[in-house]
Amino acid sequence: MTTIFERVKDALETLSPAVPFSMAPYKSTTTLPDTYIAYQLIDGSPEQSADDEETERSYLVQVSIFSRGGLVSLPDVDTAMTAAGFQKSTERQLPQDLQTRHYGLAKDYVYL
Report pLDDT digits (tens) over 76-93: 999 999 999 999 999 999
Confidence label for 103 from pLDDT (cuts 50, 70 and 90): very high
CATH class as words, domain 4-111: alpha beta
- The set of long-range contacts for 24-29, using a CB threshold of 8 Å and a minimum separation of 24, is 24/62, 24/64, 26/66
pTM here is 0.92
Q: Which of 75, 77, 107 is nearest to 91 (CA)?
A: 107
- Taking only the tens place, the pLDDT of each residue in 60-74 is 999 999 999 999 999
pLDDT for residue 29:
78
